[in-house]
């Protein structure tokens, strides 16, 4: 039996970067549009490409000026670069070193941010394939990014892969791709109930490092 490949989300799964993403998004929306967005708003949309996230927030808040989508996105990117965190969650660096099978990262963030964070946290050469917002036209919950990771790793069947996510949209994308999924909550404000109907409770772990017993077999 072929050893499965493992596809990780980045922010909130491998590194504790979501709080700075949230801080940057909140500041950008407030500065450009005056809109107040919550931490939960951002976490529920995590996995989307940045432009898609802005468009979705505008839709949810019934904000009429869609010409400001790019301005919010670019302001968020500017702020994030100045406060970016690449600190791995406890035990994750050791877990990555222990996993001998092929590994990929699939993220809705830009390539520059993803590669910078991976290099600082682990060394990006620890991952065989890296898929970012710059490589895809649609973010999660669309399954394309996961399917593209399988293609680049020359994996013929989705059954030979496992995804580790922390957000409902990511778990939905894995389901659509036919890839088995685990969720690591870490410090998300989301609850297990937010994944109801998407992933079974026994596949939800409190911390990424607790998946060592599953992924490092």
Residue ranges of the domains in the chain? Answer: 5-16+85-215, 18-83
- Residue pair 179/146 in contact by the 8 Å Cβ criterion: yes
User: In angstroms, how far is CA 165 from the centroid of its own chain?
Assistant: 7
Asked if the model's pLDDT at residue 1 lies above 90, the reply is no
Contact call for residues 77 and 53 (beta carbons, < 8 A): no
Q: What are the tens digits of pLDDT across the range 157-210? A: 999 999 999 999 999 999 999 999 999 999 999 999 999 999 999 999 999 999
- Fold for 18-83, please state it: DNA polymerase; domain 1 (1.10.150)
Whether the per-residue pLDDT at 144 is higher than 80: the answer is: yes
What does the longest C-alpha to C-alpha distance in the chain come to? 55
**Does 5-16+85-215 match 18-83 in CATH topology?**
no
Q: What is the mean pLDDT of residues 7-20?
A: 96
Rounded to whole angstroms, what are the CA distances from 48 to 93, 137, 142, 213?
A: 25, 10, 9, 29
Q: C-alpha distances in angstroms, 206 versus 89, 105, 144, 184?
A: 12, 20, 27, 6
For domain 5-16+85-215, which CATH number applies: 3.30.230.20, 3.40.50.1110, 3.40.50.150, 3.40.50.1000?
A: 3.40.50.1000
Provide the pLDDT for residue 3. Answer: 59
- Provide the pLDDT confidence category of residue 74 given band limits of 50, 70 and 90: very high
């Amino acid at each position: 039996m072929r050893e499965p490949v493992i596809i990780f989300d980045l922010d909130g799964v491998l590194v504790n970067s979501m709080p700075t993403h949230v801080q940057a998004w909140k500041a950008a929306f407030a500065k450009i549009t005056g809109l107040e967005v919550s931490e939960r708003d951002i976490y529920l949309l995590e996995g989307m490409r940045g432009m898609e996230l802005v468009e979705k927030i505008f839709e949810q808040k019934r904000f009429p000026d869609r010409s400001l989508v790019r301005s919010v996105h670019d302001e968020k990117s500017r702020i994030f670069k100045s406060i970016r965190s690449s600190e791995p969650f406890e035990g994750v660096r050791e877990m990555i070193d222990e996993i001998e099978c092929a590994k990929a990262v699939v993220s809705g963030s830009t390539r520059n941010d993803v590669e910078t964070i991976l290099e600082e946290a682990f060394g990006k050469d620890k991952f065989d394939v890296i898929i970012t917002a710059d490589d895809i036209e649609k973010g999660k919950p669309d399954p394309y990014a996961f399917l593209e990771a399988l293609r680049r790793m020359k994996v013929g069947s989705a059954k030979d892969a496992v995804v580790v996510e922390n957000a409902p949209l990511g778990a939905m994308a894995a389901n659509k791709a036919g890839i088995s999924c685990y969720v690591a909550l870490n410090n998300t404000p989301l609850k297990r109930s937010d994944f109801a109907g998407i992933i079974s409770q026994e596949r939800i772990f409190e911390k990424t490092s607790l998946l060592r017993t599953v992924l490092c077999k």
